[in-house]
Amino acid sequence: MESWFTELSAIDVSEHTSEKNGLTYLSWMWAWAELKKRYPLSYSTVHETPEGMLVWRDPIGGHVKTSITIVWKDGEEFKEHTVTEYLPCMDYKNKAVPYDNIDCMLVNKTIQRSLTKCIARLGLGGYIYAKEDLPEAVNELNDLNQLNFDLASKIARKSEDAKKQVGEVVRKFVASGNPKAIKSIDVAQQLNAELIKINK
């Protein structure tokens, strides 16, 4: 492991983070200043599309592409290492924003977040993103739980018999009878399949 990674990984970033929608964000300017303070020749790159645009079009929205190159001296020789990050342009709910709705403010924020993630790949604040896949999975589960809750409520309004039936079905998967209490995406998917059956 390179000494710069060990050094950057040891830095406590806890006083320079903020919480938003269940996610932790590291201050871009602070992270960049810390990197430059230790490795002043390091530099950032914001990649443009062949058309000179900062946003790369995706099937639904768009993403930015950034890189950070850390430069250090090894004896009499300068060495460098580059990390690259691709980050989608997302709204405050961390959902992809349609390409035509992406504005300059969102692009600027996404670039800053992407560069911060590049710095994290170099070690500084990397533990913040160590379980980054979890929020996405949690969002998917929450969305499905809400869908099941709404569907169960819709079925229950049809009649007293329907209300009783949907209650029995839901309690097969979660003892409380509340679809929002399900903690497993697999269980939520099974419940959804059962609810769709009885809604026909």
Domain limits for position 92: 3-129
Candidates 100, 189, 176, 173; CA nearest to 140 is: 189
Name the one residue in this structure whose structure tokens are 């839901």.
170
Task: Please compute, for residue 87, the number of CA atoms within 13 A of its CA located in the half-sphere on the CB side.
Answer: 24
In which band, very low, low, confident or very high, does the pLDDT at 134 lie, cut at 50, 70 and 90? very low
Q: Structure tokens of 174?
A: 């979660």
Q: What is the mean pLDDT of the chain?
A: 88
pLDDT digits (tens, 9 = 90+) for 137-195: 566 778 888 999 999 999 989 999 889 999 999 998 888 889 888 877 778 888 988 89
Q: Where is the domain boundary, 129, 150, 167?
A: 129
How far apart, in whole angstroms, are the C-alpha atoms of residue 132 and residue 156?
37
Q: What percent of the chain has pLDDT over 90?
A: 51
Cβ proximity of 24 and 128 under 8 Å: yes
Whether 115 and 180 share a structural domain: no
Buried b (16+ CB within 10 A) or exposed e, 21-45: eeebbbbbebbbebbeeebeebebe
The average pLDDT across 26-47 equals 96
Number of structural domains found in the chain: 2
Whether 63 and 147 share a structural domain: no
Q: Where is the domain boundary, 74, 104, 129?
A: 129
Whether 65 and 15 share a structural domain: yes
Whether 149 and 115 share a structural domain: no
Whether 172 and 100 share a structural domain: no
Whether 103 and 34 share a structural domain: yes
Q: What percent of the chain has pLDDT over 70?
A: 93
In which band, very low, low, confident or very high, does the pLDDT at 10 lie, cut at 50, 70 and 90? confident
| pTM to 2 decimal places | 0.63
